[in-house]
């Protein structure tokens, strides 16, 4: 959506235009849902967070000043909702990524299969991805999803999460390294040959 | 672990990736890192597996269900109506007082 079109739509929604609000849902709810799902790995929770996010949007829309992108603003709101939800989970399930050791690759790198989807069953892949993400604490999850699934820059992520750019980069690196190490036994070449 | 292209080691390459995440495309250091990765079987396998890991998450992202969209629109309509009711109540009160 063009910036001008987005601006017009938001202005209409602010004045209580039902159709403009519907259009905003149409345009942005899939993004909010995808983000929520990837952070909390649960369809019901993702739907709930998406609803909470749009209710917050409705309440705070008059505060949105069009200086930042609407999507950036949405990511900030949905991140907060996901963060609150994830904080209720037991913190002792989360892996500690403070030491460099915990994110260093193995001494001899294990290459992954040409197409990692070919041998592991679809349901099993879902379960492994869920398990990997659930081991990460919320601040690592959010940074990983914003960057690697949603494709945002580290600068944008820094604004959304209130973390410094170096802190975003460090969390991203650790989250990626952990997920790669965690999934390697299931998708590496040698484990199947 | 190897040390060859431009005399940087794999560990330096990984630390570099951690610092920049591909947002430093034109620097000299980036060129050296790219060359190292191209020539080093460890680092190329590492980067390749990293890309595949990210690809798995991307390709397993769900789409927003139609029913969920309908529920959301209904919910927002209700919220919108109750906000309008509240506002008109408030303006109603303020004119009478
Ligand atoms: Zn190397």
Of A9, A49, A16, A50, give the one whose Cα is nearest residue B82: A16
Does B48 touch chain A if contact means CB atoms closer than 8 Å? yes
Long-range interactions of A122-126: CB distance < 8 A, separation 24+: A124/A186, A125/B56, A125/B60, A126/B60
C-alpha angle A69/A72/A78, rounded to 5°? 145
> Where do the domains of chain B lie?
1-61, 63-97
- Residues forming a β-bridge with A188: A112
Percent of chain B with pLDDT over 70: 72
Cβ contact, residue pair A111, B49, below 8 Å: yes
Q: How far is B23 from chain A (nearest CA, A)?
A: 8
A59 phi and psi, to 5 degrees? -70, -35
**Mean pLDDT along residues B66-77:** 93
Tell me how far the alpha carbon of residue B36 lies from the centroid of ligand 1, in angstroms. 6
* Residue B71 binned pLDDT confidence (cut-offs 50, 70, 90): very high
ipTM comes to 0.88
With CA atoms as reference, the chain B residue closest to A17 would be B80
List the domains of chain A with CATH numbers: 3-86 (1.10.1740.10), 92-191 (1.10.10.10)
CB proximity list for A84: less than 8 A, separation 6 or greater = none
Helices and strands in chain A, H and E counts: 8, 0
Which residues lie below 8 Å from residue A45, measured CB to CB, with a gap of 6+?
A36, A85
Structure-token pair, residue A72: 């950036």
Top-confidence residue, B84 or A4: A4
The pTM score is 0.87
Contact check, Cβ <8 Å, B21/A111: no
pLDDT exceeds cutoff 90 at A36: yes
Q: Do A187 and B20 touch (CB under 8 A)?
A: no
């Amino acid at each position: 959506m063009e910036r001008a079109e987005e601006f017009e739509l938001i202005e209409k929604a602010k004045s209580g235009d039902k159709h403009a609000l519907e259009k905003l849902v149409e345009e942005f709810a899939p993004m909010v849902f995808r983000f929520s799902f990837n952070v909390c790995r649960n369809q019901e929770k993702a739907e709930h967070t998406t609803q909470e996010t749009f209710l917050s949007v409705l309440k705070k829309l008059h505060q949105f000043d069009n200086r930042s992108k609407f999507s950036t603003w949405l990511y900030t709101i949905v991140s907060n909702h996901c963060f609150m939800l994830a904080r209720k989970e037991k913190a002792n399930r989360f892996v500690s990524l403070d030491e460099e050791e915990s994110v260093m690759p193995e001494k001899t790198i294990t290459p992954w299969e040409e197409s990692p989807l070919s041998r592991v069953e679809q349901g099993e892949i879902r379960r492994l991805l869920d398990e990997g993400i659930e081991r990460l604490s919320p601040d690592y999850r959010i940074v990983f999803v914003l960057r690697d699934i949603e494709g945002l820059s580290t600068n944008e992520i820094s604004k959304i999460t209130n973390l410094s750019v170096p802190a975003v980069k460090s969390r991203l690196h650790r989250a990626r390294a952990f997920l790669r190490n965690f999934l390697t036994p299931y998708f590496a070449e040698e484990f199947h040959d | 672990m190897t040390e060859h292209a431009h005399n940087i080691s794999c560990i330096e390459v990984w630390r570099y990736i951690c610092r920049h995440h591909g947002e430093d495309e034109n620097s000299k250091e980036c060129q050296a890192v790219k060359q190292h990765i191209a020539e080093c079987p460890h680092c190329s396998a590492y980067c390749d597996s990293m890309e595949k890991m990210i690809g798995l998450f991307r390709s397993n992202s769900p789409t927003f269900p139609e029913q969920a969209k309908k529920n959301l629109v209904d919910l927002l309509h209700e919220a919108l109506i109750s906000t309008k009711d509240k506002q008109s109540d408030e303006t109603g009160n303020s004119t009478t007082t």
